[in-house]
Amino acid sequence: MQEPRTDSSGNSPAPIYVAPVRASFWQKLGPGGAASLGLALLSGLGLLGLPWLYRCGQVLRGAQGDPQQAADAILVLGRRLEGDTLTAVFTARLAQAEDLWRGGHAPRIFVAGGTTGTATRSEAEAGQDWLLARGIPEEAILLEDRSQHTLENLFNVRIEMRAQGWTTLLMVSDPLHLARAKATARGLDLAVRCCPAPAAPPKPGSLGWWARVATEGFLLHWYHTGMLYSRLLGSREQLKRVT
């Protein structure tokens, strides 16, 4: 689907593709997504996996996060629910955000994530309920409950940040997700500092950990391939989603 938005001058409509609720993998790709995926696969295989290995290194370095500083808001990136139940990964992200809020690092918490999979409520709503049960006041919690993936999480949060005049974010996710999330945020010109949720599975050094490193390494390679592809193609439709 296309969501009409106005450009920076406020005059011309600028339709931006938005994945529908409970979008399939192919629906989430949007314009140019399948082509950039194919290019990422071809470039990775054609160069003997070197781009993928390089990005895996970035994933591992990104897992350390950034030094914590005060910010306008904390952002908890969404995670698909199991039915309507939070996963251990999402719970760890929320717990880290709670610690940051209680430590006075930011006055508010964004919880991001729309309705995905078989859930009957959004990831953001489920996350809000968890924070409320932990004693976080409702006025300190903001919801972004339309997105279907990390890019849309950040794109929609950016709209609210700019509307409120806020400029800085502490972005919380599980460690191996942070490199890709940070690259996406920078592409959207968001000033973020990454805060890993150390309790999030899988256990560092385990087989599941290394499998996640490999997956995130490819996804990060795909993101950068897609950015390069969109710029070389000069596709305004694709670039509006990622910049």
Looking at the predicted structure, is the pLDDT value of residue 9 above 70? Answer: no
Looking at the predicted structure, is the pLDDT value of residue 107 above 90? Answer: yes
* The pLDDT of residue 134: 97
What is the mean pLDDT of the segment spanning 53-68?
96
What is the mean pLDDT of the segment spanning 92-111?
98
Q: Where are the beta strands (DSSP E) in the chain?
A: 2-3, 16-17, 73-76, 109-112, 141-144, 168-173, 191-196
What is the mean pLDDT of the segment spanning 119-141?
97
The enclosing domain of 106 has a CATH number of 3.40.50.620
Helix (H, G, I), strand (E, B) or coil at 172: strand
Count of structural domains, the chain: 1
Backbone angles phi, psi at 96, to 5 degrees: -65, -40
Nearest partner of 227 among 184, 176, 190, judged by Cα: 184
Q: How far is CA 4 from the centre of its chain?
A: 22
∠ Cα 221 224 227 (to 5°): 150
* The pLDDT of residue 226: 87
Looking at the predicted structure, is the pLDDT value of residue 208 above 60? Answer: yes
Is pLDDT larger for residue 132 or for residue 229? 132
* The pLDDT of residue 29: 66
Nearest partner of 22 among 122, 144, 116, judged by Cα: 116
DSSP 149: S
The parent domain of residue 119 ranges over 64-196
150 found inside a domain: yes
pTM, 2 dp: 0.86
Summarised one tens digit per residue, pLDDT across range 147-179 is 988 998 999 999 999 999 999 999 999 999 999
Summarised one tens digit per residue, pLDDT across range 10-50 is 444 446 767 777 777 656 666 667 888 888 888 888 888 99
Helix (H, G, I), strand (E, B) or coil at 224: helix
2 found inside a domain: no
∠ Cα 140 187 182 (to 5°): 55
Looking at the predicted structure, is the pLDDT value of residue 76 above 70? Answer: yes
168 found inside a domain: yes
State the chain's mean pLDDT as an integer: 88
217 found inside a domain: no
Looking at the predicted structure, is the pLDDT value of residue 243 above 60? Answer: yes
* The pLDDT of residue 11: 46
57 found inside a domain: no
Looking at the predicted structure, is the pLDDT value of residue 217 above 60? Answer: yes
